[in-house]
Amino acid sequence: MGSLAIKYQFLNIYKLGGGVVVESKEQIKKIVKKRRKYLVIASLIFMINLILFSYVQQLLESVSSRPITEEIIEIESGSSLGQVTDDLYKNGLIKNPLAFKIYIRIRGLATKIQAGYYQLSSSMSAIEIADTLVKGRVATYKLTLPEGITIEEIGDILAKRGLNKEKFLSLAKNKEVDLFSTPVTVKYNLEGFLFPETYQIPYGADEKEIIDIMVNEFKRRIKPLEEEIKKSEYDLYQIITIASLIQAEAQIKDEAPVIASVIYNRLNRGMKLQLDATVQYSLSERKSRLLYSDLKVDSEYNTYQNIGLPPGPINNPGIEMIKAALKPEDTDYLYYVVTKKGRHTFTKSYREHLEVQRRLK
């Protein structure tokens, strides 16, 4: 029997591999035949499993339709695995619902799928889709708020995205921020505190959630400046109000600290700030050019009529304008006038100011 058995002739015993001892060649043949049978069965089972695995893998591959389609799918809170699977299949994002369910069950992911809106593609495999849903990589859209944008202008942008402008304005008017006490006379409590930035907003986020994102960004960006704010003779609300004035006046950023110095110098002398931007904020509609009659509008924001700061910010300033409000240039300037290309000429006296205006005519 070659290597399968060793014959001890004087005892008529055969020893097989693995320590099995038999007494005849017939027994050896039976054992070998039995082992071959098991080997064949094991091979068949392996081949069947391999084929099934390959088949399931194919079912989990991307649909790869041409052209590739992308869909925004909403997974509602409390959705069952069956509901999720049906939605994916109906939108042409998975090949086989059963294969997807089996994969999710085997991986123990059925209770880990997160609610939200997802941007899914037919080029994604079912495994990639499952991974996206489990990790909560929700779809987002870009929302850009330029520096100096007002609450009402933000409302217009959101309305174009299908959100409710009136609801947004109501929240912005009444919502409190835990960083300060809001004066009762302001138009919007949140004016100045919705930080201008380019955001990735989750699909389905409502007006309140969007506001929370912007306020949290303001808090994050202002945190490194907390020590400087504490050292200032002005509180956070006043600093943001001043920053909004600088934002409205400084068309060129490197002039911001100088404009800040003019504002502080006039405040320290008890002079009216006389800033056109505060008049524009007081009007029901923005004008391309103010008239002298506009300067008399009855509003606490009108710095032509009232001494000191307006009751609150007039826009949402960027971080550089906030820094300028905290670190103004040390100057004696009290006036400035726009010359060309957005730049200003600064003067220390009203006589000099009039002379600059005369030369520009």
> Is 30 within a domain?
yes
Whether residues 159 and 189 fall in one domain: yes
Considering the domain boundaries, does residue 347 fall inside one?
no
**In angstroms, rounded to a whole number, what is the distance separating the alpha carbons of residues 201 and 210?**
7
* Cα–Cα dist 210/190, whole Å: 13
25 plus 90 within the same structural domain: no
Q: Are residues 133 and 168 in the same domain?
A: no
pLDDT at 45 over 70: no
Q: Is residue 344 part of a domain?
A: no
| Residues 275, 133 within the same domain | no
Burial of 306 (C-beta count, 10 Å sphere; 0-12/13-18/19+): middle
SS3 72: strand
Whether 335 maps to a domain, the answer reads no
C-alpha to C-alpha distance for 86 and 96, rounded to whole angstroms: 10
Q: Are residues 164 and 80 in the same domain?
A: no
Of the three residues 91, 107, 138, the one that is the final residue of a domain is 138
Q: Which of 91, 111, 138 is the last residue of a domain?
A: 138
pLDDT one-digit tens code per residue, 262-307: 999 999 999 999 999 999 999 988 888 899 899 999 999 999 999 9
Amino acid at 307: I
CA atoms within 13 A on the CB side of 357: 9
| Gap between the Cα atoms of 28 and 190, Å rounded | 91
Q: What is the pLDDT of residues 89-120, one digit of tens each?
A: 998 898 888 888 888 898 899 999 999 999 99
The answer on 109 and 10 residing in a single domain is no
Q: Residue 354 has what pLDDT?
A: 92
Residue 350 falls inside a structural domain? no
CA distance 314 to 186: 10
Which residues lie across from 70 on neighbouring strands? 121
Residue 310 has a pLDDT of 96
Asked whether the predicted pLDDT for residue 10 surpasses 50, the reply is: no
Taking the CA atoms of 103, 106, 112 and 115 in sequence, report the sign of the dihedral they define.
Answer: positive
**Quick one: average pLDDT of 201-227?**
95
**251 vs 49 pLDDT, higher one:** 251
218 and 262 assigned to the same domain:
yes
Q: pLDDT for 47-76, tens place per residue?
A: 655 555 555 555 556 666 555 778 899 999
| Range of weakest confidence among 63-67, 221-225, 278-282, 357-361 | 63-67
Helix (H) or strand (E) holding 170: helix 165-174
Q: Copy the structure tokens of residue 158.
A: 């959101």
Q: What are phi and psi of 124, to 5 degrees?
A: -85, 140
Q: What is the distance between the alpha carbons of residues 315 and 152, in angstroms, rounded to a whole number?
A: 10
The pLDDT assigned to 276 comes to 93
Within this chain, do residues 47 and 126 fall inside the same structural domain, yes or no?
no
- Taking a C-beta distance cutoff of 8 angstroms, is the pair 183, 311 a contact? yes
Contact residues for 209 (Cβ-Cβ < 8 A; gap 6+): 202
User: Rounded CA gap, 221 and 324, in Å?
Assistant: 15
The pLDDT, as a whole number, for residue 1 is 45
List the domain range (segments joined by +) for residue 98.
Answer: 70-138
pLDDT digits (tens, 9 = 90+) for 302-340: 999 999 999 999 999 999 999 999 999 999 999 999 887
Does 63 or 212 have the greater pLDDT score? Answer: 212
220: pLDDT strictly greater than 70: yes
Residue percentage of the chain with pLDDT more than 90: 62
47 and 155, same domain (yes or no): no
- Strands, E, within 65-193: which ranges? 70-75, 116-121, 140-144
Least-confidence region, from 42-51, 246-255, 265-274:
42-51
pLDDT of residue 38 exceeding 90: no
Question: The CATH number of the domain where 77 resides is what?
Answer: 3.30.1490.480
Strands (E), 148-299: 198-202
pLDDT in tens, 156-204: 999 999 999 999 999 999 988 877 777 778 999 999 999 999 999 999 9
Question: Tokens 């059925």, residue?
Answer: 110
Beta bridge partners of 142: 200
By 3-state DSSP, what share of the chain in percent is helix, strand and coil, each rounded to 5?
Answer: 50, 10, 40
User: pLDDT tens across 130-145, in order?
Assistant: 999 999 999 999 999 9
Rounded to the nearest integer, the mean pLDDT of the chain is 86
Do the domain assignments include residue 351? no
Instruction: Report the C-alpha gap between 224 and 265 in whole angstroms.
Output: 26
Residue 67: cis peptide before it, omega within 30 degrees of 0: yes
Q: How many structural domains compose the chain?
A: 3
Whether residue 3 is predicted with pLDDT greater than 50 in this model: the reply is no
Same domain for 219 and 306, yes or no, is yes
Q: Indicate whether 197 and 314 sit together in one domain.
A: yes
Quick one: 239 and 293 in the same domain? yes
Give the pLDDT of residue 341.
Answer: 77
Burial class of residue 248 (count of CB atoms within 10 Å of its CB; 0-12, 13-18, 19+): buried
